[in-house]
């Protein structure tokens, strides 16, 4: 077994095709197939299911590739780490951030961070949770900011802050500033499209699996800002995480009702032993300093499960 074989297997997993992988790796398809077969023979398991049009890992193969990715990345990261030794807080950080956080969180921390560490370069990608985790595992991202907690093999989680949930309702009842979940009219709710972890958290909070419709409109939405505009225009209500409420105008703030005792945990996720832990430390420190102080502690409130499971269990 050698690093080249592991890199070949990881590339095949990422692209799902011997033809595509051989082109990227600049080897012939028979040579790639032989290397993968030799690796499978040596370790005694089939890494890939070849019965479908898209090549995909077997369950055992996926577990092996998780560890293989750690080994391949360790070599690459050792080289990157050596390059940063002359400039302790320089280099590139590639981050994936989920869409329900990115447009509200990045403007809070980006300028102070880069002013303190001018040799640091950030590349931010707005991605769904599973995309963030997959790209971290494959080495395409250094880390991510998602809704946690999660239990994913090979992933290290650092909690950052906690967001309360708010009901955003057009013309709320006068004087009502907090509300129990049981008092929400579920027929009023506009929700994000299925597949977004914030939608899953709202479902969990409300024990609810439907979405608001009217006689002429079914709205498939992937943006919290769009939900806010729908409530403003069409009435009804939606549920917002706390950071999104910081960008509301004075009129819109009157539409907020805080939901009691429920929070969304936001955490930083990365692989083990990346060689960039010193950069993660300054990033996470600045993020925590940039959010309102009450959001930095859980304070006994219940963290809502984001519903993230191992990909082979889902």
Place of tokens 């409300």: 206
**Can you give the pTM of this predicted structure?**
0.70
What local confidence, expressed as pLDDT, does residue 185 receive? 75
CA atoms within 13 Å, Cβ hemisphere of 184: 28
Query: Residue 237 — φ and ψ, nearest 5°?
Result: -155, 165
Measured between alpha carbons, how far is 271 from 142 in angstroms, rounded to an integer? 8
Name the maximum alpha-carbon separation found in the chain. 72
pLDDT band at residue 83 using 50, 70 and 90 as cut-offs: low
> 147-151, 157-161, 170-174, 293-297: which has the minimum mean pLDDT?
170-174
CA angle (185, 191, 192) in 5-degree steps:
165
Any residues with CB less than 8 A from the CB of 254 and at least 6 apart, and which? 172
Mean pLDDT of 128-144: 90
CA atoms within 13 Å, Cβ hemisphere of 209: 0
Write down the CATH superfamily of domain 78-161+264-303. Periplasmic binding protein-like II (3.40.190.10)
- What CATH code would you report for 3-64? 1.10.10.10
Whether residue 158 is predicted with pLDDT greater than 90 in this model: the reply is yes
Mean pLDDT of 7-18: 92
Span 174-191, pLDDT tens digits: 666 777 777 777 777 888
pLDDT band at residue 92 using 50, 70 and 90 as cut-offs: confident
299: left (phi over 0), alpha (psi -120 to 50) or beta: left
Strand partners, 123: 94
Any residues with CB less than 8 A from the CB of 147 and at least 6 apart, and which? 98, 100, 101, 129, 197, 198, 201, 264, 265, 266, 267, 306, 308
> Three-class SS of residue 3?
helix
- Angle, in degrees to the nearest 10, between helices 129-138 and 3-15: 160
Per-residue b/e over 147-156, b at no fewer than 16 CB within 10 Å?
bbebebebbb
Residue with more model confidence, 109 or 305: 109
pLDDT band at residue 215 using 50, 70 and 90 as cut-offs: very low
Span 232-275, pLDDT tens digits: 988 888 889 999 999 999 999 999 999 888 899 999 999 887 77
How many CB atoms are closer than 10 A to CB 97?
A: 22
156: left (phi over 0), alpha (psi -120 to 50) or beta: beta
What local confidence, expressed as pLDDT, does residue 209 receive? 47
Q: Which helix (H) or strand (E) holds 138?
A: helix 129-138
Strands 256-271 and 155-169: antiparallel
What local confidence, expressed as pLDDT, does residue 64 receive? 93
The two tokens of residue 142 are: 């250094």
What residue segments make up the domains of the chain, in order of their start?
3-64, 78-161+264-303, 163-263
pLDDT band at residue 141 using 50, 70 and 90 as cut-offs: very high
Domains 3-64 and 78-161+264-303 are alike in CATH topology: no
pLDDT band at residue 97 using 50, 70 and 90 as cut-offs: very high
Whether residue 127 is predicted with pLDDT greater than 70 in this model: the reply is yes
Write down the CATH superfamily of domain 163-263. Periplasmic binding protein-like II (3.40.190.10)
What local confidence, expressed as pLDDT, does residue 114 receive? 93
Whether residue 314 is predicted with pLDDT greater than 90 in this model: the reply is no
CA atoms within 13 Å, Cβ hemisphere of 24: 15
Verify cis geometry, omega within 30 degrees of 0, for the bond prior to 167.
no
Whether residue 81 is predicted with pLDDT greater than 90 in this model: the reply is no
């Amino acid at each position: 077994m050698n690093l080249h074989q592991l890199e070949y297997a990881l590339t095949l997993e990422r692209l799902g095709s011997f033809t595509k992988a051989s082109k990227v790796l600049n080897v012939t398809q028979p040579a790639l197939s032989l290397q993968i077969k030799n690796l499978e023979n040596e370790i005694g398991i089939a890494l890939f299911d070849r019965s479908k049009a898209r090549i995909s890992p077997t369950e055992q193969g996926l577990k092996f590739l998780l560890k293989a990715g750690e080994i391949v990345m360790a070599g690459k990261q050792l080289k990157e780490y050596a390059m940063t030794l002359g400039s302790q807080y320089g280099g590139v950080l590639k981050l994936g951030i989920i869409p329900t956080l990115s447009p509200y969180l990045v403007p809070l921390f980006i300028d102070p961070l880069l002013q303190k560490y001018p040799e640091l370069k950030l590349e931010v990608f707005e991605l769904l949770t599973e995309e963030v985790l997959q790209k971290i595992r494959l080495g395409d991202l250094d880390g991510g900011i998602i809704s946690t907690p999660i239990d994913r093999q090979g992933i290290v989680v650092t909690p950052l802050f906690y967001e309360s949930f708010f009901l955003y309702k057009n013309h709320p009842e006068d004087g009502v500033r907090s509300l129990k979940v049981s008092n929400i009219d579920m027929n009023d709710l506009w929700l994000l499209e299925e597949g977004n972890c914030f939608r899953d958290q709202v479902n969990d909070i409300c024990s609810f699996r439907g979405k608001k419709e009217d006689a002429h409109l079914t709205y498939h939405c992937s943006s919290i800002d769009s939900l806010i505009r729908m409530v403003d225009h069409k009435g009804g209500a939606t549920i917002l995480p706390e950071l999104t409420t910081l960008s509301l105008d004075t009129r819109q703030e009157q539409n907020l009702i805080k939901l009691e005792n429920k929070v969304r945990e936001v955490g930083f996720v990365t692989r083990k032993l990346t060689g960039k832990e010193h950069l993660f430390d300054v990033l996470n420190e600045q993020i925590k300093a940039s959010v309102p102080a009450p959001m930095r502690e859980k304070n006994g409130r219940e963290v809502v499960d984001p519903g993230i499971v191992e990909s082979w269990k889902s």
